[in-house]
Chains A and B, each alone.
Chain A
Amino acid sequence: MKIESILATKSLNVITVRPDQSLKDAIDLLVEHDIGALIVVDELGQPVGIISERDIIREAARTEPFLDQNVARAMTKDLIVASPQDDLGAVLQTMIAGHFRHLPIIDQERLIGVISIRDVLKVQLDEYQGEVDTLTEIIEGQD
């Protein structure tokens, strides 16, 4: 299964933040949209980093006060991105190995979505559950 099957049922809006915005702004956006990470984009809308709850907590632990610090200071700059055609199994392996939980999706050099490890696990769980249900119904449906 591919990433596009996750994107098909997700909002078209990608919630982003600029590097020069404050961490308070970032937290407000996370709370408002009930999400765990924001893609940091430059003035052209190109991703330059990602900032997650974990990045903000890390910054809070080392800087006080931290809310006025800018996003660029706390964000993860080594951004790994995926395409809609990437395989979910491979992506999950990469996320686990790399200890990250959110992945920006780029299509034709355009940011089109973000998927979380929860999204990937949910789709995979549904797939396995679907296979179990199909087999169960075949067995129960036998004459």
Chain B
Amino acid sequence: MDYKKLVDTAILAGQIMMENNAETYRVEDVMNRILDISKLETTEAVAITTGLYVTLDDPSINAITVVKRISNRDTNLNKIAKVNTITRNLTSGNCTIEDAYDELKNIDEVQYNSLYKDFASSLISAFFALLLGGGLIEAFMSWISGAIMVLSKKIDNKTNMGFFIYNVLYSAIVAAGTSVLQRYTQLDFDIDIVITSSIMPLVPGTAITNAFRDTLRGDYMSSGAKAIEAVVIALSIAVGVAIGLVITGGRAI
């Protein structure tokens, strides 16, 4: 058996899952299951939010250890589901290591095009306004603010400055934009609901949920990292909203 390929497959699977915010125990579980195919004496996989470590050892071979740094973080639930399916197939013997490795390499399938996703992002804001008890006018204004948010997110692709500054920028633009809209259109809507629903796509829901789940499993390193991530994102949104409201002078009505 090609042990190097096996370790590479395990690391690649772990990397994809970690980069897409899977729970830490699930990442370790997937890597361990792939390594167990080798039936060697020592198989060890460690996953932390910022890195992966895998070791394979046996009296018959030279030990193989691979370390992988994880620096990008995004959420793509489809990739997690696909890695899960590929691992299931691999461990049940339905496909070879080479096939699994190739499948993992070509996992970047576009499910929804970016226009569709942008539209969904603005719709989140509109529906959140209704969910929080707003009327149709709040929903419509939130939809516009959500669209402003989507447009301001396009700056992200042009420059590269780290997520804290971006979150501050987006929420400042949305807060300022909403209060300017209210001032110049003279429409009577609840600005609190509109701003809350339009910052909803930025809110660290993923980080909060995963931080709690990792804590329960005893992965304190990962859960601590994710909890800090959630607090920092929340703070950046708060700072941004505060800046936006102070610049434009807050509520008009």
A binds B: no
